[in-house]
Structure 1
Amino acid sequence: MSELRTGILIVGGGLGGVAAALAVARCGHRAILTEPTRWLGGQLTSQAVPPDEHPWIEQFGATASYRSLRDGIREYYRRWYPLSAQARAARHLNPGRGSVSVLCHEPTVALAVIEAMMAPHRAAGTVQVLNAHRPIAATVDADRVSSVRFVDEATGHEVDIHADYVLDATETGDLLPLAGVEYVTGAEPAGETGEPHAAADAEPQRMQGFTVCFAMDHRTGEDHTIDRPADYDRWRAADAPVRPAQQIGWPNPEPGHGVLRPNPDAASDEKVIVSASHTGRFAPPTGWSPIADLWRFRRLLCRHNLTPSPPSDITLVNWSANDYHGGSIVDVPATLAAANLRAARQLSLSLFYWLQTEAPRADGGTGFPGLRLRPDVTGTPDGLAMAPYIRESRRIRAVTTIREHDIAVADRGEHGAVRHADSVGIGSYKIDLHPGTHGGVRMYAAAHPFEIPLGALLPVRMRNLLPAAKNIGTTHITNGCYRVHPVEWNIGEAAGHLAAYCLGHGTEPHQVREEPRHLGTFQSILTSHGIELRWPEVRGY
């Protein structure tokens, strides 16, 4: 057993944890940042998911440091990749030309940029990073966490880290049960939240499904068919425990679903997605290829951006067909969590095998044997992502809980989202709930651009533990739009600044919110570091 001491301990090196560590270092304080995997970056790297962002991201609606991350990713491609003249000249270069975001890219590039952003602080000794460290216990005294114990997954060695402030930036709020922090999981009852679409009763295990993503390319004329996965028959069965239809298969086109049309402006076989104007269900037009549509959605690298062009694009598979809803990995016995994670990996491998062998093609044939997993993209031996893509975490019982009727367009109408005097950032995303690990249906609803209240970062009781990721005071429903990349970064950055402010001013987080002189000073510090607290008001349009 060894011991370390720091002013601020950040547990979890995802986007929130990285943003928090950078904020702490910029404020002149010291932090230790722990991460259970080999890669910093969470959603963007070890989970391999390119950013989900709002339509105005290039103009406003993100912190300055998040913009630095995005700019760094584009600069990396310009500096090191053989971009075509057109791609190099693009102001808003989209390396993957994916449709999910204006910046789709490989996770390894995001990792390189994050490491570069962290490098000067690591060299100066203001940030110490401990990879492969998982929290296993916490010591609490009078509503304060005094230390957290970790195990080094590589060596089995244990270390106690003592800190004045502890930030939980883990993917599933792992510190909350270890420290006895009040929290909630899954769906709250309508009687508690008053939300129009809340469940009738509390359903703690009804969390959004998680996904083991994978990267793949296609080599025409080659056969890269993998061995038939052990659980393939289970996931091909009509009663697979997820969707009303078979778990594995093409999605059914719905009204408004993208339809591929030739792009007359492209000097290649590139196509664009044109929104369908059909009403009701519609039959796909002749030559419509689901794989072409899905391929483009989270494409990480478009070969036509490079010269000479490589044989294939690289795309990421994060589809409804490999969303795992068979069970949770949160607040269940360790053996069950491991079994569910294994099953999720089998689901993804089964989907890939189906694509290679059975997927119906537009030409009437079946299977795409030229599809190939890309372990070099995910940093793993098998091409599956290093960690599962987590959409929903444990969430603190907070001073302020953000509810559906605070942000939903259906409830707020033209009034916009509720304004918060204690705002520490902003974000925007639709309420996007995937079916849950214990039932639940798809929910997709419009939400106004929203603010992040400081009260949502304050546990009702604990004095020195702060959430710094997807574990703030949201509900099951509002988590559906506060969980995305730029919002998680903003939350972590605000939490890092808050801990640094409290250390520097001899105060506590709750006092910062309650005392106007502290709140005003703290918000001024946030804005001076490029954190936007309000959405711009647009008039006369």
Structure 2
Amino acid sequence: MKKSDKRRNFRLNSCSRLTLPIVLLSQSLFPATAIAKTSPDETVNCEILIIGGGLAGTASAYEALLAGRTVCLTEISDWVGGQITSQGTSALDEGQQQRSLNYFPRGYQELRTNIERYYGQLNPGNCWVSHSCFIPKDAQNILFQELQWAAKRGNGQLKWFPSTVVKEVETDTEGRMIKGVTAIQHTPKPGQPDLNTLPLSKIYQDAYRYEDSPQLKKKVIRFVPKTGAKSKPADWYVIEATETGEVIALAGVPYRLGLDPRDPLNPSSPTETSDPYCTQGFTYTFAMERTASPVFQEQPPFYSQYQPYYGYDPNPRKANFDYVFTYRRIWHPKKGQLMQFGGVKFTEPMPGDISMQNWEWGNDYRPGTSQDNLIYSHDQLEQTGQLKPGGWMGGLRQETLRKGEEHALGFYYWLVEGTTDSQLGNGVKQRQPNHILLKGVNSPMGTEHGLSKYPYIREARRIIGRSSSDYPDGFAINELDISSKDYFNVHYRDAIPTRMYYDVWRQVTRLEVLSRGATPVSQMQYTKRTRSTPFADAVGITQYTIDFHPCMTNSPPELPGNREREDVRWGYAPAYPSQIPLRAMIPQKIDNLLVAGKSIAVSHIAAAAFRVQSFEWAVGAAAGTTADFALKKGILPYKLVEDVSEHNSELSQLKQVLENNGNPTHFPEFEVGRR
């Protein structure tokens, strides 16, 4: 069914209403510890509790519902879908080979099919960065219907908790099992505006406080195993699917954050020591519509602070407004004539076209120091009291959220009124006043302010998997497991210590032998990877380029003349079609917790490829299926990977269930080594 008429119901507001109220719930650098509440307002039973309703959480719920499970699903926003809905990045990033093979999990395939059915085409925006760009609000409706269908077909039960944040995680006396999770659901008090009236930063810390506020009414919910559950050794499973790894921090699970030290498995790391403050940039997206005539645009009061950052790109081949507008165009009802710029062909933008903006030198916000980092490190969490009972406040810096919102709105003004380019100088940027920022509950982002409900998060806390003889320091997927780079060129020979250079060579040889199943003629026969590392415990597949949006060197990120952190892009490279091993989803310490989304055990560099939509769906589907399998079999997931050989019958059974359900665990063998 086509929806061409429906788009005109968007509420259109000019930039004159951009300005955000600069009123903070807390002006302190670190939040105060919240007051603990002794008893819940409601107790809810689950077989599987999924914390985080993004794409990974949605996929976990989809598979668990088809398996007939009682599923509780919480989400900080009021939409399921994460990246493509509440975060607004509604342009599917897919690896070229994976897309050409049409090799995706069944729920993701259904999503693509339903998008095409809804619009009458897969790419209603006729964008050129993807084969499918669409309206975030529509994707939320499509995904929620997909969950309802899964519950009906599988005879499962979905208990949906929007606007709900995790607050406390309760474990047994040995600290091995989660036996209860306390969460807080917030709603507007009578007479207060809708939750989507103000941007996230204005309610973020309030949402994590037990007590009611002048704005929000709170409901404390305790999630526990389903009444009468007799499954052993675990009577329920919790799936961590938050955008930043909240449960990981709350449960005291070992994790990494930010840059990893350079080592033979991650030779492109720009530092010899870890740096938890330099994570990939985050982005508040927005939608803008081309109009037939100029629109008055009022300059936001904070614009001058952020203006020194904005630019098309250091590459002049990207210095064209229509090129940027059509990059992630999500609605294109009337086709324009064919145009070309910088070697890219696209159809001319027309009045009524809508573009979603997610641009590196635009609305990306890229803090990278201890003064402004978004995701608090473990030490910062301890300093703020957030790891004490009742002290969890979300683990993010509210001030940085606020600045990211301002930065995004300033970018809209730069697009339509800016005349200078921070990367390419004067004389490049021209005014484009025939545009308007889309706002309102019926707009693409579903917010009165026009920004996405939640920022697009590219990097989260990443667990360290369990130790084994092959991985004595804990399992992780590393750069060398997936990258197609040639590590024996002059750059690496000169940039890393000689001993490490030869260690890298040995690791490449070892991994090639593992992949090929052949004995090398000499220890250094192979000079580069020809395929990704195969994993006997693979439960999903993914492919995407190792791509970076590096943090900036100095604070604040928008500082005039600031530059991104040097050499973070060293690791940039196409990635081979890869597998997602179950070991990457199993944390240390907690036995009934599975990790989905961007928080699996990957290095910083590998994480740059393990963050897109199809990956999130694949790892979520694996988590939901594994939780159901573990309940049926009465086995803890970590037991499945103690022996990852072909002789592990239960692991083989799990993989067969995934394959039978249309969730592939490997690419066709003859394709593995191609990009």
TM-score (norm. length: structure 2): 0.68
Question: Which of 418, 423, 436 is equivalent to 1:358?
Answer: 418
Say which SS state the counterpart of residue 580 (structure 2) adopts.
strand
Contact 2:540/2:663 (<8 A) preserved: yes
Say which SS state the counterpart of residue 597 (structure 2) adopts.
coil
Cα distance in 1, alignment partners of residues 396 and 105 from structure 2: 39
Aligned position for 1:107? 136
Report whether the alignment pairs 1:51 with 2:92. Answer: yes
Cα distance in 1, alignment partners of residues 586 and 550 from structure 2: 29
Contact 1:249/1:359 (<8 A) preserved: no
Deviations 1:298-329 (A, max 9, x none): 111123359xx973211111101221113332
Cα distance in 1, alignment partners of residues 549 and 593 from structure 2: 29
Aligned position for 2:32? none
Aligned position for 1:135? 166
Alignment of 1:179-198 (within 5 A): 179-191=251-263, 194-198=266-270
Aligned position for 1:62? 104
Report whether the alignment pairs 1:235 with 2:235. Answer: no
Cα distance in 2, alignment partners of residues 194 and 122 from structure 1: 42
Aligned position for 1:514? 642
Q: 1:153 to 1:177 in 2, by over 3 A?
A: same
- Paired residue type of 1:51: L
Report whether the alignment pairs 1:216 with 2:293. Answer: no
Aligned position for 1:440? 565
Question: Which of 407, 420, 424 is equivalent to 1:347?
Answer: 407
Deviations 1:39-65 (A, max 9, x none): 100001001102111113153331121
Aligned position for 1:402? 477
Unpaired runs of at least 5, structure 1: 79-87, 238-246, 259-288
Cα distance in 1, alignment partners of residues 429 and 108 from structure 2: 45
Contact 2:259/2:269 (<8 A) preserved: no
Cα distance in 2, alignment partners of residues 137 and 193 from structure 1: 36
Say which SS state the counterpart of residue 296 (structure 1) adopts.
helix
- Paired residue type of 1:429: Y
Q: 1:121 to 1:416 in 2, by over 3 A?
A: closer
Q: 1:55 to 1:343 in 2, by over 3 A?
A: same
When Rg is computed on C-alpha atoms for both structures, the one with the higher figure is: 2
Report whether the alignment pairs 1:178 with 2:250. Answer: yes
Aligned position for 1:82? none
Cα distance in 2, alignment partners of residues 122 and 487 from structure 1: 23
Aligned position for 1:378? 445
Aligned position for 2:620? 492
Report whether the alignment pairs 1:425 with 2:578. Answer: no
Q: 1:365 to 1:481 in 2, by over 3 A?
A: closer
Q: 1:58 to 1:45 in 2, by over 3 A?
A: farther
Aligned position for 1:28? 68
Contact 1:44/1:110 (<8 A) preserved: yes
Alignment of 1:328-339 (within 5 A): 328-331=373-376, 337-339=397-399
Q: 1:345 to 1:482 in 2, by over 3 A?
A: same
Compute the RMSD of aligned alpha carbons: 2.5
Tell me how far 1:359 sits from its aligned partner. Answer: 3.5
Cα distance in 1, alignment partners of residues 119 and 335 from structure 2: 10
Cα distance in 2, alignment partners of residues 397 and 136 from structure 1: 23
Aligned position for 1:158? 220
Report whether the alignment pairs 1:295 with 2:325. Answer: yes
Say which SS state the counterpart of residue 455 (structure 2) adopts.
coil
Cα distance in 2, alignment partners of residues 305 and 457 from structure 1: 44
Q: 1:4 to 1:437 in 2, by over 3 A?
A: farther
Say which SS state the counterpart of residue 101 (structure 2) adopts.
coil
Q: 1:14 to 1:437 in 2, by over 3 A?
A: farther
Contact 2:68/2:151 (<8 A) preserved: no
Deviations 1:488-533 (A, max 9, x none): 1100110111111000110110112235011000000000011111
Tell me how far 1:67 sits from its aligned partner. Answer: 0.5
Contact 1:182/1:396 (<8 A) preserved: yes
Deviations 1:180-231 (A, max 9, x none): 1111111111259553335211101111010111110111313141x32232
Contact 1:419/1:451 (<8 A) preserved: yes
Report whether the alignment pairs 1:202 with 2:274. Answer: yes
Cα distance in 2, alignment partners of residues 22 and 364 from structure 1: 48
Say which SS state the counterpart of residue 609 (structure 2) adopts.
helix
Contact 1:122/1:128 (<8 A) preserved: no
Contact 1:458/1:510 (<8 A) preserved: yes
- Bigger shift: residues 102-111 or 327-336: 327-336
Deviations 1:326-384 (A, max 9, x none): 33321155697111011011111111112222246999884222211112010001211
User: What is the percent sequence identity of the aligned residues?
Assistant: 30
Tell me how far 1:460 sits from its aligned partner. Answer: 2.4
Contact 1:511/1:518 (<8 A) preserved: no
Contact 2:63/2:625 (<8 A) preserved: yes
Cα distance in 2, alignment partners of residues 451 and 371 from structure 1: 43
Cα distance in 2, alignment partners of residues 492 and 317 from structure 1: 26
Tell me how far 1:121 sits from its aligned partner. Answer: 4.7
Alignment of 1:266-305 (within 5 A): 290-304=320-334
TM-score (norm. length: structure 1): 0.84
Say which SS state the counterpart of residue 547 (structure 2) adopts.
strand
Cα distance in 1, alignment partners of residues 266 and 415 from structure 2: 43
Tell me how far 1:150 sits from its aligned partner. Answer: 0.6
Q: 1:360 to 1:187 in 2, by over 3 A?
A: closer
